[in-house]
Structure 1
Amino acid sequence: MIHKLADVQSLNIGKGTNVWQFCIVLPNALIGDNCNICSHCLIENDVAVGNNVTVKSGVQLWDGIKLENDVFIGPNVTFTNDKTPRSKQYPNEFLKTLVKQGASIGANATILPGITIGEFAMIGAGAVVTKDVKAHSLVVGNPAKEVIK
Structure 2
Amino acid sequence: MAKIHELADVQTDHIGQNTFVWQFSVILKGAVIGDNRNITSQVFVENDVVIGDNVTIKPGVQIWDGVTLEDNVFIGPNVTFTNDLVPRSKQYPEVFAKTLVKKGASLGANSTIIAGNTIGEYALVGAGSVVTRDVPNHHVFYGNPAKHTGYITENALMVSLNFEDNNGRKYEFSNNKLIQIS
TM-score (norm 2): 0.81
2:47 paired with 1:45: yes
The one-letter amino acid paired with 1:14 is: G
Shift of 1:18: 0.2
Instruction: Output the CA distance in 1 between the equivalents of 2:84 and 2:13.
Output: 27
Note the alpha carbon deviations across 1:55-87, whole angstroms, 9 max, x for none: 000000000000000000000000000010000
Shift of 1:145: 0.2
Give the gaps of 5 or more residues in structure 1.
none
The one-letter amino acid paired with 1:53 is: V
Q: Tell me the equivalent position of 2:136.
A: 134
2:14 paired with 1:8: no
Q: Tell me the equivalent position of 2:89.
A: 87
Instruction: Output the CA distance in 2 between the equivalents of 1:126 and 1:29.
Output: 27
Shift of 1:9: 0.3
Higher relative contact order (CA 8 A, sep 6+): 1
Instruction: Choose 1 or 2 for highest CA Rg.
Output: 2
Q: Tell me the equivalent position of 2:145.
A: 143
Q: Tell me the equivalent position of 2:27.
A: 25
Q: Tell me the equivalent position of 1:103.
A: 105
Q: Tell me the equivalent position of 1:125.
A: 127
Instruction: Output the CA distance in 2 between the equivalents of 1:88 and 1:50.
Output: 31
Give the gaps of 5 or more residues in structure 2.
152-182
Shift of 1:16: 0.1
Q: Tell me the equivalent position of 1:113.
A: 115
* SS at 1:147 equivalent: strand
Number of residue pairs matched by the alignment: 149
TM-score (norm 1): 0.99
Q: What percent identity do the matched residue pairs reach?
A: 62
2:73 paired with 1:68: no
Instruction: Output the CA distance in 2 between the equivalents of 1:28 and 1:132.
Output: 26
